[in-house]
Structure 1
C-alpha cells in the first residue's frame, strides 16, 4: 500500500469559526506558516469554502492553495493561517516592507520601546498573554506594520487602553471575544 501525492497541487485546509466565515471569500490572500518552519510565511489564496459546518466545533472548513511550490511543504503538516484583508493585498508589492499589519491600538509604548500583547495557548489550550517587544515600520490610517517581533497568524490584544495596559502581565490568562 502506498500514498500517491501530487506535490504540484498541495492545498491547506483550515477550520474557521463560523462567526468569522462571512469575512472569507474565494481569491482572498492567505499567509500560511508551517508548524515545522514557524518563521516561514508562505503566500496562499482561498480556493473555496466547503458548504458544510461542523456543528460540534462551530466551524466551517476553508481550502486554500499555495501560490508557489516549496519543497518544505509536505502532506499533512500542521499549519497556521492568517486571512488577509483587501487593503493588505492591495498594499503588498514585491518591494513592500516585510512585516505584518496590526491596528494602531494594539501597539503600546513610544519611540524604540514599543510592544504588543500576544495571545498564546498553554498546554491545556487556555489562552494567556505575553508581552512582546516589536519594531514598528510604516503606518497607514488606523494600522501599523510590525517589522520585527511578531509573526503572521499570531494573535494580539487589539484594543489597548491605559487601564487594560496596566492590568496585563506576562502569563495572565485571558478570555477571547468572538
Structure 2
C-alpha cells in the first residue's frame, strides 16, 4: 500500500485531533452522566440503579482537601446515592476504588492533568455545585474514595468505605 504525503498528513492530523479530545479536562464542567451507566463489575461494586437506592449519603468536598465524612459504613447489597457538594472555590472530584487503582489513576492524572473521564464511579463537581454517584456495594471489604485532581490526592483528600458482609 503506497502512502502519499497528503494522505499521511491527513491521517496524522486526524489522530492528533482525536487524541486531543481525550485529554480535555481542566476546570470545565463535565457532561451529565449518561442515561444508562456502564454496568461493569469492579472490586468495590457495580453501578447502581437509581430506582434501587436504599440510602442517600451527603459528602462535602472542601478546599482544605478533605471530604466530610471521611469514613462511611455500608452493608453488602446496599445501593447508595452519594450526593457531593463542593463547598470550595476549585474543582473537586469523588472517585471510588481500591487504594491500588486510585494510586494508579492519580499517577495518570499527574502525567495527563487534562485527562477526561466519565465513569459511573466518578463525580466531578465545580465550585458551589453538586454531583452524585449511585453505586451498589455487592462485595464486602474496605474500599476508598478520593479526589484525584493533581495535588488534591497527595494533600490527603481521601476517605474509606467499609462494606460489611451480609
TM-score range, shorter chain: under 0.3
Q: TM-score, normalised by structure 2?
A: 0.24
User: Larger helix proportion, structure 1 or 2?
Assistant: 2
